[in-house]
Structure 1
Amino acid sequence: MCYSEESLSLLVLWFELESEQYAPPETEEKIAEAA
């Protein structure tokens, strides 16, 4: 699958918002490290 940079940034933005809603703070740190 191919994503444009714009689509990717939107996907990442959405993913971060979803993660903030459901994930504990620990997971958020791991995501930040992986990014």
Structure 2
Amino acid sequence: MMYLGWLLFTLCATLLTVLIVLHYDKNHSNDI
């Protein structure tokens, strides 16, 4: 059960990071 929770947490963290990076890249491209 603990392994499943850790896997879910890692997946959510990765998704959040990807979303933030994509959002930052989009804003950065608009500035150029």
TM range (shorter): 0.5 to 0.7
Structure with max Cα Rg: 2
Q: TM-score, normalised by structure 2?
A: 0.58
Identity among equivalent pairs (%): 14
Larger relative helix fraction = 2
Query: How many pairs does the alignment contain?
Result: 22
Cα deviation, 1:1-35, whole Å, max 9, x if unaligned, reads: xx7000000000000000001137xxxxxxxxxxx
User: Within 2, Cα distance between the matches of 1:17 and 1:8?
Assistant: 14
- Stretches of structure 2 that go unaligned for 5 or more consecutive residues are 1-8
